[in-house]
Structure 1
Amino acid sequence: MNKASFGSEDFEKAYTFKSYNELIESLLEENKTTGTNQSEAMINYTQMNQKRMKRWFKTLKLSDEIKGLNIDGQNQKWLIITEGWCGDAAHNIPGIEMIARELGIETRYILRDENPEIIDAYLTNGGRSIPKLIAVDKDFNELFTWGPRPKECQELYLSLKENGSDWNEILEKVQRWYNSNKGAMLQQEFTQLLKTV
C-alpha cells in the first residue's frame, strides 16, 4: 500500500467543502477566479460552474447501492484537487460530496495550481487533469484514486481530442454526456471502489 503524497497537516489545513465554496463565491464577487489565469473566459466558466454545482446538489439522487454500502467512513478521508473554473469538477464534486456525506467520510479540497507537488504525484496520462480524488486511511496510506471524470466520459473526451475536435465541440459533447448520464456512472464507479477497500 502506497503512502499518500500528503499528510495529516496538509489535509487539516485544506478547505472543507463549505470553505472552498465560500472562497469561490468571494472571488466571483471581485470578478476573479482561482489560479493564475484571470481571463474573462475563466471567470465565466467559474460562474457557470457555481450554477451547475447548485443544480446538481438539487437534482442528483444517490443510488440505493451507495446508500446500502457497509463501510466504516471514519477509516477514510478524501482529498479532492480542483479549481473553480474546472467544468468536470462542477459536474462531479456534488456527487462526490453527497456520497461522502452519506457514508460519513471527511472531505477536503485543495487548489491544483497552489499545490504542484501534490497534483504531480497524481497525473493522468502525464497531465494535471482535475478533479482528482485521493482516498486515504487514517494513517494516510492510499486506498484508491479517482478522476478526472467517469471512464465513459473520459473515453469520449480522449476520442474527441484524437479526432481533432475543437475545444467548444469537446465542451458541448462532454456537457451533454454529463446531463444524460445524471451522475449514474460516477456512483457506479465509487460503489466499486468502495467495495474494494
Structure 2
Amino acid sequence: MTNRADTLLNETIRAGLKQALKDSWSYSQYREEMARQVEAGETSGIQQSPDRIQYTLLNHRRMKRWEKTFRFPETVASKIKDLLAATSAPKRTWLVLTETWCGDAAPMLPLADAFARAIPGIDLRIASRDDHPELMEQFRTDGALSIPKLLILDQNQEKVLAEWGPRPVPARKLVQDYKAAHGKLTAEFREELQQWYNKDRGQHIAEELAYLL
C-alpha cells in the first residue's frame, strides 16, 4: 500500500520532471546558450558572480575539447554494440540538472551526448538546477544539491529509473578526501580535479553511464 507521504512525493517528482522537461534544452541548444553567456559575460543560475562567469568560460572551452577528443573505451563500445543489436532496446530520457559554471558537467555532458548520438533510444535533455529547486531537492547527494545530476526516465517520462552524479567514484573520493582535510574546495583543487578528468579521458564516467544502460 502506498502511503500519503509517498503519494505526495511521487506527485512532486512527476510535476517537477514535467516542468523541467518543458524548460529543457537539447545538447546543441545548451551549447548555444553557453556560447551566448560567454559572449555576454554571464553565467546560468541565481548567482552571477565573477568566479562563476569565469568558470562558464573555462567550461565552454573544456567542452569543445571533450567534443573533439572523447572516444568510448573498448568495453563500453562493445556494450553499446550489443545494445543496438537487441530488438527491444527501450527508449529512455536522460535529464541532466546542471548549470553552465559547473566544472564536473564539463566532461560529463559531452560524454552523455556521445551516448545519445550512439544510441537512438536515448533522448538527452538538460535543465537548470536553480530553475527547478523542488525537483532538485528530491535528488540530493550526501545532503547537498550537487550537480550535474542525471535522472534516467522511463518511456513515459514519469518515473526515475536511475540517477547518477555529480562525478564518478574515483573523483568523488578525491573530493571527499580533500574536504575532510581542508574543509572546502579551493580553486587550485578544482583545477587539479579537471586535470584528473583529462588524464582519465572520460573512462570512468563512460563506464558508470554504460552500467545504467
**In the alignment, which residue of structure 1 is the partner of 2:194?**
175
Q: Distance in 2 between matches of 1:171 and 1:7?
A: 30
Paired residue total: 193
Tell me, in whole angstroms, the C-alpha distance in 1 between the residues paired with 2:53 and 2:44. 9
SS in 2 for 1:87: coil
Normalising by structure 2, report the TM-score. Answer: 0.83
Counterpart of 2:110 in structure 1 is 94
Matched, 1:110 2:127: yes
Determine the structure 2 residue equivalent to 1:163: 181
How far does residue 83 in structure 1 lie from its aligned partner after superposition?
A: 0.4
Q: How far apart are residue 90 of structure 1 and its match? A: 0.6
Contact 2:20/2:127, CA 8 A, preserved across alignment:
no
Per-residue CA deviation, residues 88-144 of structure 1 (Å, 9 max, x unaligned), is: 001211011111221121011111111101111110011110000000111222211
**1:144 match:** 162
- Partners of 2:203 and 2:79 lie apart in 1 by 11
Change (3 A) 1:180 1:141: same
Q: Which residue of 1 aligns with 2:3?
A: none
SS at match of 2:104: helix
Q: What pairs up with 1:76-91 in 2 under 5 angstroms? A: 76-91=92-107
Per the alignment, residue 130 of structure 1 pairs with 147
Please report the TM-score for the alignment, with normalisation by the length of structure 1.
Answer: 0.90
Show the counterpart of 2:29.
19
Q: Distance in 1 between matches of 2:40 and 2:34?
A: 10
Residues 119 and 7 (structure 1), Cα distance of their counterparts in 2 relative to 1, 3 Å cut: closer
**What's the % identity of the aligned pairs?**
33
CA gap of 1:39–1:180, structure 2 versus 1, over 3 A, is same
Contact kept in structure 1, 2:92 and 2:155, CA below 8 Å: yes
Question: For residues 47-99 of structure 1, what are the alpha-carbon distances to aligned partners after superposition, in whole Å with 9 as ceiling and x for unaligned?
Answer: 11000001001000023234324165652111000101010001211011111
Q: Please state how far the C-alpha of 1:169 moved relative to its aligned partner.
A: 3.4
User: In the alignment, residue 127 of structure 2 is paired with which amino acid?
Assistant: I
**Is the CA contact (8 Å cut-off) linking 1:81 and 1:111 kept in structure 2?**
yes
Match of 1:120 in 2: 137
Distance in 2, Cα, partners of 1:193 & 1:69: 14
Query: Whole-Å Cα distance in 2 between the matches of residues 23 and 177 of structure 1?
Result: 27
Amino acid at match of 2:38: L
Residue 45 of structure 1: CA displacement?
Answer: 0.6
Aligned mates of 1:66, 1:92 — CA distance in 2: 19
The unaligned stretches of length 5 or more in structure 1 are: none
4+ residue runs over 3 A deviation = 2-10, 71-74
- Paired position in structure 1 for 2:60: 50
- Give the AA of the match of 1:107: L
Letter in 2 for 1:40: P
Q: Distance in 2 between matches of 1:171 and 1:61?
A: 24
Q: Cα RMSD (Å) of the superposition?
A: 2.0
